[in-house]
Structure 1
Amino acid sequence: MKLSHWLPCLAWGRQYNRSSATQDGMAALIVTLMLIPQSLAYAMLAGLPPVMGLYASILPLLAYAVFGSSRTLAVGPVAVVSLMTAAALAPLFPAGSEAYIGAAMLLALLSGLLLSAMAFLRLGFLANFLSHPVVSGFISASGILIAIGQLKHLFGISTSGVSLLQIIPQLWQGLPATHWQTLLIGVFSLAWLWWARKRLKPALQRLGLSAQTAGNLAKAGPVLAIIVAIVVVSWLQLDQAGVKVVGAIPQGLPALALPTLDLELAIQLLPAALLISLVGFVESVSVGQTLAAKRRQRIEPDNELLGLGTANLSAAFSGGFPITGGFARSVVNYDAGAQTPMAGVFTAMGIALSVMLLTPLLHNLPHAVLAATIIVAVLSLVDLGSLRRTWRYSPQDGAAQLATLLGVLLIGVGAGILIGVGLSLLLFLWRTSQPHMAVVGQVPGSEHFRNIERFAVVESPSVLSVRVDESLYFPNARYLEDRISELIATRPQVRHLVLMCSGVNLIDASALDSLETIVERLQTAGVQLHLSEVKGPVMDQLRRSTFLESFGGQVFISQFEALKTLAPQVTQHTLRPVNPPATAQPAAHRKSL
């Protein structure tokens, strides 16, 4: 395989010019201003020292720029993955301890190895097991759980727990101990950030600024909140009055170091690392594909796996924790005009300069401001209306989405997503175990065949045409046998049964055994089985067995050819229609064709 396949940077690097560099630089400036407070906040959300958020925003961005295929995806710490990190590590070690930090780096290492291995083995399809309703329910529940979990920092009280059943009672019990100075800082920060998110851009436009300039300045709202909060805390010495602040942050770039290499701990963290990898990959690919489509570009899932894998490996060796592509940050990167992954490289340089020069200034940054930053960011992820829309369209998918949402809120992150995935798979097996099967007839004057219960069609008393609208495999093989026996029992004149396979994409070994059983039963009843409209891959499968030689019937290229051969009088319209002549029912009364 060509080296350029695994190094997309070679493609855009050859065409890189000053114009692209200028646009990437401007986008990087805006994303850096957005990423600094988010990195600090999401590290705190993960139960880690805030500086680790900055560490996780340097080398990982460089690695993704080399191996990732999206031109505008912005990687780094994100809320959902930070929550999953905390959920995996909180039961094992005290938050912020040396053991906790080492385990977070090990979790990043495992995630990086898993993603990289999936890339080389082309296992990106595993992420397909996370259906859109499950992912939507998971993200909405995570947003609610994160927001409520951050209230402890706004009230200045201590709580712990990984579900609402654990967090809410502790919050209620801790309310009498609310620290009022902390609460005031948190409420004002929350109000400002919420207003800036919705209203600051229009307000700046009314002052005469262009839409782009106003939008870029509005993105710096969290930075202004941080600056004002630091000034107020320093001026009034609120840290001495009990307001919790970030404290001393190491100055300088992170030293390269090995994460904790503990085999027993690695095995214990492996399930969490796999979930983090899959969720992070799904989120990144969804965002990357959406943004790429706007510019008629495309991304390669294998490259995304490798890009995210190397980014997490970089985080593991540079004092970081698991990261992935962020939705809001990537949209900002795109809107700011980023042309290539060099925007990520410039962002990493900006974060590196901040770590070297600005960290002493962050000593008096209140935890309440970071909590407000998290709350405003994650509430934009909550979409409870999606549950109503999904349920209206498909109650089964709605049930999986609701189960995921309630599982995350009431049990925990890992359990919630496993419940959603498990229920989705069970509902899929249940749906496909009873496939839709329709007796079809010829539409007069055409070669088309439609359901006899929905259209005025022509049938032959000696030929029964049955359309199967599902692949045939082990969950529905027995149902196929029972349904055909039932149809034959009610039609004593039938001498031929044609199984219309236009909707069949697979016939597995169990279904093949059932077809052989059906052939034996039909022959005992004096009926011959035939197949029509068999797809090429399915036909290739059947040729690898002895079924085609032994079943005694024919395989027709179309249902019309089958009826023309077995009952030519029907195709010539000499048979009186079984149903009264009428046009097809109105569309409002038809569920499917």
Structure 2
Amino acid sequence: MSSTEHTELMSTESFKTKVKNGIKDYFSVDAWKDRFPITRWLPQYKASKGLSDVIAGLTVGLTVIPQGLAYASIAKLPLVYGLYSAFMGSFVYLFLGMSKDITVGPTAIMSLLVGQYGKPIDEYGEVHDPTYAILLAFFCGIFQILMGMTRLGFVTNYISAVVISAFTSVSAINIGFGQIKNLLGIRFQSETFVMDFYHLFKHIKETKWPDLVLGISSILFLALMRFGKNKSQVRLDKIGKAGPTRVKAPWKALWILGTARNAVLVVIAAGIMFIVEMNGSIGQITLTGNVTSGLPPFRPPNLGAENILKHLNIGLVIIPLIGFLENIAIAKGFARQNGYKVESNQELIALGACNLANSFVSAYPTTGSFSRSAINSQSGVRTPAGGVVTGAIVLLALQFLTPAFRYIPKASLAAVILYSVIFMVDYEIVSQLWKLKKIDLLPLCAVFFPSLVLGIEYGTIIGISVDILLLLYPIAKPGYHVEKNGFVILKLKRGIRFPAVDLIQTILDEKSLMTKNPTSVIVDFTHVSSIDFSVVEGIKDTCNSFKKRGLKVAFVNVLAKVRFVLDHGNIDNLFMYDSIEEAIQDLKEGNDGQQTDGYSKLDDNRKENSSKTGSLRKIKSASLKKDKEIEKEKLVADDIIDSSYTMDSSV
């Protein structure tokens, strides 16, 4: 059996083994436990864990209610839809989620993206038809589940940290600047940051001073409460868990109040407005107005709505991808911090199931919230069951507290949003990139500035496109080094794919074929771990061009699986050698017209073998035994270099 036939047989057997093992693993008990992570932690659930989950769930619940109301305004929906989006995800994630810290619900960034799509139903464009936001949650869920089932979670790996940082920062600026009008008590319609900036100064004279005073007071209150929370955290860390309860109690109470500062602010502001209304002066401050009471109906989204594609547009792709990216970044961050693991595709399925279920309770797309997840973790949550308590708090608020929400001032909700997003702006990354790698400032700017002018969705697409081009550039322009030692020696510094074919042909033409004294060339394939069909075709054309001039193209240090592809490429005039020195020696003999008997016999052997494989190879070797030893060494090197190339490409 020839080496080629042996390789083909081994490849077939390896494929069958992989398929068999893959089917076995898919239906294994462990695999199904991974698909329903609740089956892993529920059997070990204890009362002590339950108490920790209840405390964490209550704390997060007090945070999500004011945030949900505030984020609904960013999504350009009636405020109650923020609460509709805050409970179902917690229940679904309980069964499918792998992170104990994640809390799924409305977030500032997802709300901003949802607000970019839909059908306005008021003259200012501040409120959209909820039908399309609900449909967006439905399609978002389907998209994410399909991606998870087909194991496409790796797609988000191609969105770099630079693009994510730029996206987060520009989103925070858009959200914050868009809330200034509510802080000032003025109204106007706008779609982008530039238009916000223009209309803000155009309508600045319409500022309502009571709204402005209340808004600034709310921001100062939140800053004071945050300072108190941080101070209490430092004191609690110094006291330690073993410290006396009477010493820890006041600091713990201050920490809880600081953590729930948004809820405290909303309660105080609504209480003041209630008292003001009793005195007949409520008209001076802008309130949120009536909020629909009761639980949302459980029904499927309206798939018969008009012009779904027109109103949702590119959001059908952008929102599920960004939602998953935000969720997995948070989940992996807390997993590393707290010593457990999460799997990207399972998280994708879990998030998709949350959004799909959300669409049946009139919710818009949601994802993991960093701020609430941080509170959840700091509150000592032990399992995803903490989300059940959070969801229950939201349901109770919907059922019994919605009449009181009408007294919440818009300026106070704007303060909640402004103070939340201000910490999302990553201004330090600019100086870091300037010091480390200036070229990475290009995708950052490609996201940032177009987002301010054209909108977040278009800026994100432009930034990701620029980032991918930077990633592909080294593949199209691989590093190389050219030497001349009687012949032209081309040393490639990385693997090659089809975009690099034209470059390699140009180099060989300029350095040898098109010169006054053309010579044969040697191409060093040491760092080439794999090639594709286009590369093979390019090599075939190059070899033919050199053959017409009576010259040769010699390939050296060719790895086993690359050699296998070349053997099956039907390339005439193909020469492969084990080293540069061997190639130089043989090319010199060939150029002088002096072929030794040994070379002729080896050539005859190669021709005989090529009749079985359909390709012609001419390789000079000391002995068959040496060939086999070298082949074994190259198989090992193949695996090592292939792994290195994969890591290099991913970076």
Provide TM-score, normalisation by structure 2.
Answer: 0.77
CA contact (8 A) 1:189 1:225 kept: yes
User: How far apart, in 1, do the equivalents of 2:457 and 2:166 lie?
Assistant: 13
What SS class does the counterpart of residue 554 from structure 1 fall into?
strand
| Structure 2 counterparts to residues 81-100 of structure 1, below 5 A | 81-89=110-118, 100=129
Percent identity over the alignment is 27
CA spacing shift, 1:551–1:386, aligned 2, 3 Å = farther
| Structure 2 counterparts to residues 263-302 of structure 1, below 5 A | 264-268=306-310, 269-302=312-345
CA spacing shift, 1:396–1:474, aligned 2, 3 Å = farther
Partner of 2:506: 482
Q: Does 1:234 align with 2:234?
A: no
Partner of 1:65: 94
User: How far apart, in 2, do the equivalents of 1:239 and 1:101 lie?
Assistant: 33
Q: Does 1:312 align with 2:355?
A: yes
What SS class does the counterpart of residue 481 from structure 2 fall into?
strand
User: How far apart, in 2, do the equivalents of 1:530 and 1:217 lie?
Assistant: 71
CA contact (8 A) 2:103 2:368 kept: yes
CA spacing shift, 1:101–1:264, aligned 2, 3 Å = closer
User: How far apart, in 2, do the equivalents of 1:164 and 1:99 lie?
Assistant: 19
Partner of 1:515: 539
User: How far apart, in 2, do the equivalents of 1:298 and 1:350 lie?
Assistant: 29
Deviation at 1:522, TM superposition (A): 4.2
The AA in structure 1 aligned to 2:329 is S
What SS class does the counterpart of residue 529 from structure 1 fall into?
strand
Partner of 2:556: 531
CA spacing shift, 1:357–1:205, aligned 2, 3 Å = farther
Residues 547-567 of structure 1: CA distance to partner in whole angstroms, max 9, x if unpaired? 4xx4532254xxxx5546756
The AA in structure 1 aligned to 2:85 is A
| Structure 2 counterparts to residues 304-383 of structure 1, below 5 A | 304-383=347-426
User: How far apart, in 2, do the equivalents of 1:87 and 1:567 lie?
Assistant: 68
| Structure 2 counterparts to residues 439-518 of structure 1, below 5 A | 439=482, 461-462=485-486, 465-488=489-512, 497-502=522-527, 504-518=528-542
User: How far apart, in 2, do the equivalents of 1:372 and 1:14 lie?
Assistant: 44
Stretch moving more, 221-230 or 128-137:
128-137
CA spacing shift, 1:505–1:289, aligned 2, 3 Å = farther
Q: Does 1:250 align with 2:274?
A: no
Deviation at 1:439, TM superposition (A): 4.3
What SS class does the counterpart of residue 309 from structure 2 fall into?
helix
What SS class does the counterpart of residue 425 from structure 2 fall into?
coil
Partner of 2:263: 223
| Structure 2 counterparts to residues 209-220 of structure 1, below 5 A | 209=248, 214-220=254-260
User: How far apart, in 1, do the equivalents of 2:255 and 2:568 lie?
Assistant: 62
The AA in structure 1 aligned to 2:536 is L
User: How far apart, in 2, do the equivalents of 1:74 and 1:491 lie?
Assistant: 71
Partner of 2:574: 552
User: How far apart, in 1, do the equivalents of 2:41 and 2:235 lie?
Assistant: 39
CA spacing shift, 1:23–1:303, aligned 2, 3 Å = same
Stretch moving more, 13-22 or 481-490:
481-490
Stretch moving more, 192-201 or 43-52:
192-201
Residues 484-517 of structure 1: CA distance to partner in whole angstroms, max 9, x if unpaired? 3334468979756142342x35422222222222
The AA in structure 1 aligned to 2:58 is L
| Structure 2 counterparts to residues 97-176 of structure 1, below 5 A | 100-176=129-205
Partner of 2:302: 260
CA spacing shift, 1:417–1:91, aligned 2, 3 Å = farther
CA contact (8 A) 2:229 2:256 kept: no
User: How far apart, in 1, do the equivalents of 2:386 and 2:577 lie?
Assistant: 58
CA contact (8 A) 1:124 1:301 kept: yes
Candidates 216, 220, 243, aligned match of 1:187: 216
Deviation at 1:518, TM superposition (A): 2.7
CA spacing shift, 1:461–1:127, aligned 2, 3 Å = same
Note the residue ranges of structure 2 that are not aligned, 5 or more in a row: 1-25, 237-246, 587-651
CA contact (8 A) 2:193 2:453 kept: yes
Deviation at 1:12, TM superposition (A): 1.9
Q: Does 1:415 align with 2:463?
A: no
The AA in structure 1 aligned to 2:266 is I
Partner of 1:588: none
CA contact (8 A) 1:466 1:497 kept: yes
CA contact (8 A) 1:68 1:303 kept: yes
CA spacing shift, 1:468–1:205, aligned 2, 3 Å = closer
CA contact (8 A) 2:94 2:388 kept: yes
CA contact (8 A) 1:115 1:309 kept: yes
Stretch moving more, 121-130 or 460-469:
460-469
Deviation at 1:18, TM superposition (A): 1.9
CA spacing shift, 1:100–1:555, aligned 2, 3 Å = farther
Residues 447-468 of structure 1: CA distance to partner in whole angstroms, max 9, x if unpaired? xxxxxxxxxxxxx825655332
Deviation at 1:379, TM superposition (A): 1.4
Partner of 1:572: none
User: How far apart, in 1, do the equivalents of 2:148 and 2:470 lie?
Assistant: 29
CA contact (8 A) 1:89 1:100 kept: yes
Deviation at 1:430, TM superposition (A): 3.9
The AA in structure 2 aligned to 1:518 is T
The AA in structure 2 aligned to 1:372 is A
Note the residue ranges of structure 1 that are not aligned, 5 or more in a row: 441-459, 569-593
Partner of 1:456: none
Candidates 461, 475, 490, aligned match of 1:432: 475
The AA in structure 2 aligned to 1:353 is L
Partner of 1:449: none
CA contact (8 A) 2:478 2:494 kept: yes
Partner of 1:44: 73
CA contact (8 A) 1:110 1:266 kept: no
Stretch moving more, 4-13 or 321-330:
4-13
CA contact (8 A) 2:120 2:128 kept: no
User: How far apart, in 2, do the equivalents of 1:435 and 1:471 lie?
Assistant: 7
User: How far apart, in 2, do the equivalents of 1:71 and 1:121 lie?
Assistant: 25
CA contact (8 A) 1:462 1:496 kept: no
Deviation at 1:178, TM superposition (A): 0.8
CA contact (8 A) 2:168 2:425 kept: yes
Deviation at 1:270, TM superposition (A): 4.6
Deviation at 1:409, TM superposition (A): 1.1
Deviation at 1:544, TM superposition (A): 4.9
Partner of 1:579: none
Deviation at 1:357, TM superposition (A): 2.7
Residues 53-107 of structure 1: CA distance to partner in whole angstroms, max 9, x if unpaired? 1111111211122122222211100001100111112668768999711111111
User: How far apart, in 1, do the equivalents of 2:493 and 2:306 lie?
Assistant: 48
Deviation at 1:24, TM superposition (A): 1.7
User: How far apart, in 1, do the equivalents of 2:308 and 2:92 lie?
Assistant: 23
User: How far apart, in 1, do the equivalents of 2:284 and 2:380 lie?
Assistant: 43
CA spacing shift, 1:204–1:278, aligned 2, 3 Å = closer
User: How far apart, in 2, do the equivalents of 1:364 and 1:397 lie?
Assistant: 47
CA spacing shift, 1:565–1:543, aligned 2, 3 Å = closer
User: How far apart, in 1, do the equivalents of 2:485 and 2:298 lie?
Assistant: 80
CA contact (8 A) 2:121 2:128 kept: no
CA spacing shift, 1:322–1:486, aligned 2, 3 Å = same
> What is the RMSD computed on CA atoms of the aligned residues?
2.9
The AA in structure 1 aligned to 2:262 is P
User: How far apart, in 2, do the equivalents of 1:109 and 1:209 lie?
Assistant: 46
User: How far apart, in 2, do the equivalents of 1:285 and 1:73 lie?
Assistant: 10
CA contact (8 A) 1:110 1:270 kept: no
CA spacing shift, 1:79–1:505, aligned 2, 3 Å = farther
Deviation at 1:115, TM superposition (A): 0.9
User: How far apart, in 2, do the equivalents of 1:101 and 1:66 lie?
Assistant: 28
CA spacing shift, 1:265–1:388, aligned 2, 3 Å = farther
